[in-house]
Amino acid sequence: AQTVTQSQPEMSVQEAETVTLSCTYDTSENNYYLFWYKQPPSRQMILVIRQEAYKQQNATENRFSVNFQKAAKSFSLKISDSQLGDTAMYFCAFTSSGDKLTFGTGTRLAVRP
């Protein structure tokens, strides 16, 4: 069974600075997909970024980027130039073909003004 581990229950960052959220996963699959979802106080989960395991290049979406280390089974999220609106729960998720999406327990990020 796939597992996703987020070892940081809570993180805090000063506005305009950079923060990295950690995620590791365990799988025997070779091809799979990884996601970061954001859940702000409005409670709606929003896709932030996704990575396909067969792509070596790290995914980037504006201020959000990932550091995908396939051998280490690590998929961290870097948020640059943090903004107050980035305050939210962040969930790492994994799926492989034909399998359900597996989520981590989340990291609560607070951006300080």
Partner 1 sequence: ETGVTQTPRHLVMGMTNKKSLKCEQHLGHNAMYWYKQSAKKPLELMFVYSLEERVENNSVPSRFSPECPNSSHLFLHLHTLQPEDSALYLCASSQEPDRPNSPLHFGNGTRLTVT
Asked if 77 is part of the footprint of partner 1 (rule: CB under 8 A), the reply reads no
Torsion of CA 59, 64, 68, 72, to 10 degrees: -170
Rounded distance, CA 28 to CA 57, Å?
21
**Contact string (CB under 8 A) for partner 1, positions 1-30, x = contact:** ---x----x---------------------
Instruction: Find out whether 105 and 95 touch, Cβ atoms under 8 Å.
Output: no
Residue among 28, 57, 71, 98 that touches partner 1 (CB under 8 A): 98
Instruction: Find out whether 71 and 11 touch, Cβ atoms under 8 Å.
Output: no
Asked if 100 is part of the footprint of partner 1 (rule: CB under 8 A), the reply reads yes
Asked if 50 is part of the footprint of partner 1 (rule: CB under 8 A), the reply reads yes
Asked if 64 is part of the footprint of partner 1 (rule: CB under 8 A), the reply reads no
Residue among 27, 73, 80, 103 that touches partner 1 (CB under 8 A): 103
Residue among 65, 76, 96, 110 that touches partner 1 (CB under 8 A): 96
Rounded distance, CA 54 to CA 104, Å?
22
Task: Name the residue with tokens 């970024």.
Answer: 49
